[in-house]
Chain A
Amino acid sequence: MIESAEITINRRVPLPENNLRIGVFVCDCGSNIAGTVDTEAVKEYAAGLPGVTAAIRNKYTCADPGQKEIQQAIAEHNLNRVVVASCSPISYEVIFRKCIEGAGLNPYLLEMANIREHCSWVTPGDKEAATEKAKKTVKVAVARSRWLIPEDEEQIQMTDAALVIGAGVAGIQAALDLADSGHQVYLVEKNPSIGGIMAQLDKVYPDIECSI
């Protein structure tokens, strides 16, 4: 895969497994993608990429039927990587991670190919160029997915106490709210009394009430 001999790479990532079973899900997004990109051609192309076991086209991959198709395909084809070619991972990665987790895969085995925001929407009126760009985007995502490995989120112990630095009106309120919620609070003030600027004010707006 990586041809340059001079590149040494951290050893902890294992070489791609021989039994890679990648599923690629190409989303029409109604006409948002399919209006500009030949999604059928992208699906066919994806099916021919090394390691790809299943390539499936969905009308809306993020909708319930689309997510079900992913979960069924994971079971049916025994998939161990999932590439969703649809929209931006910033909005949808969370959803698809949960989806594959629901089918028993580690959520970090998901990769997304953004063929909407970065492709169909910015290449209007040029179906050929948009389709080529979408194919390449899927190819790059599939290549990355080969090197993904399951990742576990570390569990951290929480000390149930808070430090509030500064006992002006903000620090006082934060400390009281936390303390009323049952948490131990250490409220530290550099001056001999709490109160801050608020304690120096006579009246406060808009009702001209006393400050303290």
Chain B
Amino acid sequence: MMDVGRHPNIKLLTFSEVEDISGYVGNFNVRIRKKARFVDETECTSCGDCAVVCPIVIPDEYQVGLGSRRAIFLPFPQAVPSAYIVNAYECLGQNPIACGKCIEACEKSCIDFAMQDVIINVDVGAVIVATGMDLYDPTPLDEYGYTSFPNVLTSLEFERLICTGGPLEGKLGRPSDLAFPKRIGFIQCVGSRTQDPERGNPYCSNICCMNTIKTTQYLKDAYPEVESTVFYTDLRAFGKGFEELLMRSKGNGVIYIRGLPGDVGEDPLTGNLNLTVENTNTNRLENYSFDMLVLAVGVVPAANTETIRQMVSLSKSPSGFLREAHPKLRPVDTPTKGVFIAGGVESPKDVRGSVTQASAAASRASILLNKDQFSVDAITAVIDEDLCKNCGICADVCPFSAILWKKGEPAEVITAACTGCGTCSAECKYNAILMRHFSDQTIYAQIDAMLEDDPGDTIVTFACNWCSYAGADTAGVGRMNYPPHASIIRTMCSARVSPEFVWYAFRKGAPVVLVSGCHYVDCHYIDANRSTTRRVDGLWDGLDKAGIDRSRLMLEWCSAAEGARWQHIMNQAEETRLAVTPDMIQHTRSQLQEVRVPGPRNPRVKDESQPAIFQCLVCGEEWSGIYQSDQERSCPSCRSNSVHWIRSR
């Protein structure tokens, strides 16, 4: 920590917040607010004379409320920078009638109540997001008595309690009466690994097993007379040296019981805690009594994760932690070029994991920063100003905020920020956006070529580069046999597929058109494939209006690993193709000459969540439920994503 404060290449800005990040890889402009600390941090020697005279006593955040501090305080003894700070909301003020005692006490006159927030603008080439994680608040799990019984603590509170720098200066005592706790219970998985959203999160928080094992062993080393009992679901000790530590604690007499208690009661006279647990190893109900109970709370995404995520256009996992660009091959990159992630913001992790990932992120960022210039892939959008009608819809749908638009002016693409998904190009009804290397011309030429002879034999298949095309590759690698009638048009993202391509294919006699892409959670362009769904919804409306069977347009999500799913999709598409007669194809061609089909649904109208009736266009299954725009729809019986929905009344 000290190295950071002293390093000539590091400008450390504490008590500061990033307010805005604009620009793109290599050229980010950052606005930082350095909030007023009311103490000159370069002059303060952290002598503490100010705090001695401060009359305000406040629970200390560093000691998780187990100790107290003043309104002017040093966050903790080893703080960097080693300087006091005034919490303006707690302070009585500088007016001598109100208080102002600290000003008099400070010999070096470091305290300045006129200090203002300062806005600092910096230009950077790369950004590393390391905003960390928060601990799960166990208040909703009231059966453990966290809010009612003083001797029930979270793991972090217990950590402070036993620390030599803690409120008891390393002496072990319990909060209610400072008595020495001889019997301490630990409850694992608090707020983790539950399917009930009221009771925490479905994921494993990664760190809690080892943290408890560490604490029990530490207690054995420091206070051999303490009896520790751990209640767990599974003990996950998978890292280097972890199993050894677990064995050491078991060897030293720590008791591990497989089973979580239903509830905890307190003996009001002694403050002791009683619980009953089903020991699933022995299948017996067992009763325990403890002097103290420690809840091994899980971790959750930090409260400010969402703000940062939106600032730099990142995507998140279902758990709310930020999503990496690729789970195996690019674990510290993000979908936004030049932005990297490290530590708890990506997933729950311990110190070693955070440090490893941080070094990886620094190394990835260095690769960029070491260059004076770098080249970007040529697959980007180009706006034709002559054709652009200044509507700005492209800027609305771009997942990367890579299109600048002002009312009344043509839109402009920031080439370095453009990732080439093609969402904008497919949305533009004026054909004013050219996707380099995936131009409309190339795609129409492919459709023409595949439907030139015997169009009835061809399943016109759009596949995205990252998932469904790769899923088809995986089917090949696995030698999964399927009918030979699919003809694939590869695009970078399914969102490149303009509704016009689909209409064109049907006009040219296609019996079936299949649009395929990544599952929602896998989309390589944040959430571009939601545009695909919206367009397919609009196309289904149009087909229905034109009297054409909607099931001839299929929408399927398939990951790169799902070769068997691709085979399944191919078999489903073939079944649909076989049901399409030459008469139906002829009817479609004539209908599409006469009927004016509606355009795509407006991306500016958001149907976020509402009750709906769903129908699978492949197998015909119908069901009702809640439509949610951010969740992919799939048929409960045949797994197809060709699911049509209408609002239920």
Chain A residues with a Cβ under 8 A of chain B: 1-4, 7-13, 88-91, 108, 114, 116-119, 121-124, 126, 129-130, 132-133, 136-137, 139-140, 142-144, 146-148, 151-208, 211-212
Contacts and interface: CB of A to CB of B under 8 A. Distances in A.
B375 A154 contact: yes
Contacts of B217: 208
A186 B18 CA distance: 11
Given A161-B125, A167-B4, A193 B76 contact: yes
14 contacts: A10-B384, A143-B445, A148-B442, A153-B377, A155-B374, A161-B122, A165-B129, A174-B130, A174-B365, A175-B7, A189-B15, A195-B76, A198-B354, A205-B242
Nearest to A120: B476
B431 A10 contact: yes
A171 B452 CA distance: 58
A90 B365 contact: no
A204 B351 contact: yes
B245 interface: yes
B275 interface: no
Given A153-B378, A163-B18, A10 B434 contact: yes
A206 B352 CA distance: 10
B480 interface: yes
A170 B342 contact: yes
A121 B124 CA distance: 48
A203 B156 contact: no
Interface of B is mostly: mixed
B449 A140 contact: yes
A163 B127 contact: yes
Given A147-B441, A192-B15, 14 more contacts: A124-B481, A143-B448, A156-B25, A157-B26, A158-B373, A159-B125, A162-B128, A169-B343, A174-B130, A189-B14, A191-B75, A198-B351, A202-B166, A203-B214
Contact of A136 (B1, B439, B487): B487
B130 A193 contact: no
B437 A184 contact: no
Contacts of A202: 159-160, 162-166, 218
Nearest to A123: B484
A163 to B, nearest CB: 4
A133 to B, nearest CB: 4
Interface of B: 1, 3-5, 7-18, 21, 25-28, 30, 32, 37, 62, 64, 75-76, 78-81, 83, 85, 122-133, 135, 156, 159-160, 162-166, 210-211, 213-214, 217-218, 221, 239-242, 244-245, 304, 308, 342-345, 350-351, 354-355, 357-359, 361-363, 365-366, 368-380, 382, 384, 386-387, 415-416, 431-434, 436-437, 439-446, 448-450, 452, 458, 465, 469-470, 472-473, 475-477, 479-482, 484, 486-490, 500, 504, 507, 567
A205 B446 CA distance: 59
A177 B448 contact: no
A156 B376 contact: yes
Contacts of B162: 202
Contacts of B416: 154, 156
A100 B366 CA distance: 31
Contacts of A196: 132
Nearest to B354: A170
Q: Tell me which of A10, A166, A167 has the highest count of chain B C-beta atoms within 10 A of its own C-beta.
A: A10
Nearest to B375: A153
Contacts of A169: 343, 351, 354-355, 358
Contacts of B122: 161, 163, 186
A162 B10 contact: no
Contact of B354 (A140, A142, A173): A173
B130 to A, nearest CB: 4
A147 B378 contact: no
Nearest to B477: A117
Contacts of A142: 449
A33 B560 CA distance: 22
A13 B487 contact: no
A171 B80 contact: no
A193 B129 contact: no
Q: Tell me which of A119, A154, A184, A205 has the highest count of chain B C-beta atoms within 10 A of its own C-beta.
A: A205
Contact of A126 (B16, B130, B484): B484
A178 B378 contact: no
B30 A163 contact: yes
B128 A156 contact: no
A184 B9 contact: yes
B232 to A, nearest CB: 16
Contact of A171 (B37, B128, B163): B128
Contact of A163 (B28, B75, B475): B28
Contacts of B13: 186-189
B427 to A, nearest CB: 14
A144 B75 contact: no
Given A166-B343, A193-B81, A161 B12 contact: no
B531 to A, nearest CB: 19
A186 B365 CA distance: 14
Question: Would you list the 9 A-B pairs with minimal beta carbon distance, nearest first?
Answer: A170-B343, A117-B476, A177-B362, A206-B241, A143-B449, A193-B79, A173-B358, A202-B163, A171-B130
A168 B354 contact: yes
A165 B473 CA distance: 39
Contacts of A185: 7, 9-11
Given A130-B484, A194-B14, A165 B75 contact: no
Q: Tell me which of B133, B160, B359, B433 has the highest count of chain A C-beta atoms within 10 A of its own C-beta.
A: B359
A114 B221 contact: no
Nearest to A8: B431
Contacts of B434: 10, 12-13
Contacts of B239: 206
Contact of A186 (B124, B369, B489): B124
A9 B429 CA distance: 10
A132 B450 CA distance: 12
Given A118-B472, A206-B242, A186 B11 contact: yes
Nearest to B488: A118
Contacts of A129: 484
A132 B457 CA distance: 11
Given A174-B361, A186-B32, A9 B79 contact: no
Given A167-B4, A187-B4, A12 B448 contact: no
Contact of A208 (B126, B221, B378, B384): B221
Contact of A168 (B83, B344, B384, B480): B344
A81 B504 CA distance: 26
A190 B124 CA distance: 19
Contacts of A179: 7-10
A156 B264 CA distance: 61
A105 B265 CA distance: 78
A170 B355 contact: yes
